[in-house]
Amino acid sequence: MLNVKIRGIYSTALTKIMLENNLRITYPTNIIKSRFELESNYEVPDIEIFDNINDRQGVVVLGKEKGLKIVKEILRNEFEDSIIRESDSGWNSICRGKVIKVYHETRSAILEFNLPKGNFQGVLDNNIHKVGDTLVVSVKFPNFSYIRARLSPNITIAGDHIILIESNMPRISRKILDINKRTELLEISKNFSLISDNWNILWRTSAEHAKREELEEELIELNKILEDILNKKDNEAEILLYKGLPGFYIEFPYSSKEKLDEIRDTVLDTIPKHHFIKSMGNEFSNLVDFAELLLKRSADNKENIKNVFEEFLSNNLLKKGKVSIDHVKLDGRIFHLTPGLISEINEDENSFTITRYFKGNTNKIYDGLRVPIEQGDYGKTEMKLGEYYYKTTYFNRKNEVKGIYYNINTPIEMYQNTIRYVDLEIDVVNMPDGKIRVEDKELLDSFYINGYISLSLKELATKIVRKIVENIKS
């Protein structure tokens, strides 16, 4: 049975899903133990699931290959509109890369790595190197498709209970409070000789619950890995010195967040759009906690509380004024489209119109329309929250239509003055002469083939395109 460790804003719903699929929860928090009546379990996790504090649109999943395959299948089947981005770098990998770009103002550099099974890039802070230099670094946070890895010049070798570090003395996690255990760990450190005197042991928090024999066996194994890495370090031909944990990032679009809400609601009272709001950060997250406390204490008034909360959200998120548009690509890139003004709102339909003005540039053309961007051009973008597409009508300064563009995407979400969705690549174009074109269907197919999206999401996008074309023709 697989052991899974889960942390973050999606933990309650994901815990329920994992338990229903006969997976064991390890290192459960006190809250999770209470909600699911779980016993303490300190077994080493096969899989770790957690959200990235800088992007709570989904979760990072790391672990052993076999376990990853099982968890990926569970999540994909549960959330059909989810987006999965694989990592080429892995976590805690040690690689040799080349500096391809230096940012002097931020003292950072971009490194490129050419691995046998895929290339990736990473960001190195506090950089002192120049373009063309090659150096060995650790991956401190994985890459996911286009999203770059975070790198460190400090090489570390991570095990289940131990991290080997370059240091002149052993260290113990401050969370290990048992004096007898700390004494035992220091004794093991003193009696064990690593292959290099420049390296030492950092005892992880999990070491507190591990048996001495288990710790000593892990130390022997990590020492062999250290020896191998040190032998490879001076060999310029060695690119991957140590392969860390593989993993992937799964993004939860609007429909997935709604399903997560439903699952969580079977465990405890959950306010509408719980996970959507939690993904926005602490300001609104605290509001959710307060609303759910009211639900807990006002059993006879739950529907009123939920209705008032949804009304509050609608009034504070969907309102006239300036708005930004985050056009997220399936590989993780984010394009910030020309911002605009929400000029019309239909509150009953949760629909709205954005007026956007474009800077004229005869050297540039509108993607899809294939016509020049000219001075005085503007667009009317019609959107509806939760809809899988939106429509933009482009006008010239004489108010003549230059073309109509239908963007197919995951359901539209509205955050604080920002619209967000994941572009599904395929689009529909309707030109003034009546011609209709379906753009980039091959890109949609490619992302499906490469595992970014499910078959059902690909088929849904194709169905929406057919419906749009039929409506235009009718």
Check whether 284 has a pLDDT greater than 80: no
Is residue 53 pLDDT above 70, yes or no? no
Residue ranges covered by each domain of the chain? 3-87+247-262, 94-154, 157-233, 273-313, 321-473
Q: Name every residue whose Cβ is closer than 8 Å to that of residue 429 and which is 6 or more positions away in sequence.
A: 368, 369, 403, 404, 405, 406, 436, 437, 438, 439
Has residue 253 got a pLDDT over 80?
Answer: yes
Q: Are strands 418-430 and 321-328 parallel, antiparallel or unpaired?
A: parallel
DSSP states of 62-105 as a string? EE-HHHHHHHHHHHHHH-TT-EEEE-SS-BS-EEEEEEEEEETT
pLDDT of residue 79: 97
368 has a pLDDT exceeding 90: no
> Mean pLDDT over residues 403-414, rounded?
96
The Cα angle at residue 450 between residues 446 and 452, in degrees rounded to 5: 95
How large a percentage of the chain has pLDDT more than 70? 100
Q: Are the C-beta atoms of residues 384 and 413 closer than 8 Å to each other?
A: no
* Separation between Cα atoms, residue 92 and residue 245, nearest integer Å: 7
Instruction: Provide mean pLDDT across the span 258-273.
Output: 94
pLDDT tens string 85-106 = 999 999 999 999 999 999 988 9
Residues 284-310, mean pLDDT to the nearest whole number: 81
The whole-angstrom separation of Cα 351 and Cα 426 is 22
Stretch 439-458: mean pLDDT? 96
Contact 162, 207 (CB under 8 A): yes
d(CA 261, CA 255): 10
Pick the more confident residue, 309 or 191: 191
pLDDT, position 400: 95
Q: Which fold has domain 321-473?
A: FomD barrel-like fold (2.40.380)
DSSP-based helix, strand, coil % in the chain, nearest 5: 30, 35, 35
Could you tell me the pLDDT band of residue 391, with boundaries at 50, 70 and 90? very high
Structure tokens given for 390 = 């939106």
Which pair of tokens denotes residue 448?
């499906």
* Residue 239, C-beta contacts closer than 8 angstroms, at least 6 positions apart: 95, 96, 113, 114, 115, 116
- Architecture of the domain delimited by 94-154: Beta Barrel (2.40)
pLDDT, mean of residues 111-123: 89
Q: Among 137-146, 277-286, 400-409, which is the least confidently predicted range?
A: 277-286
Alpha carbon 39 to its chain's center: 30
Does residue 334 sit in helix, strand or coil?
strand
Residue 362 is predicted with a pLDDT of 65
Calpha distance 374→362 (Å, rounded):
6
pLDDT tens-digit series, residues 325-344: 999 999 999 999 999 999 99
pLDDT (average), residues 251-256: 96
Helix (H, G, I), strand (E, B) or coil at 27: coil
Specify the pLDDT at position 351. Answer: 93
| Measured distance CA(410)–CA(425) in Å, rounded | 11
Confidence of residue 302 (pLDDT cuts 50, 70, 90): confident
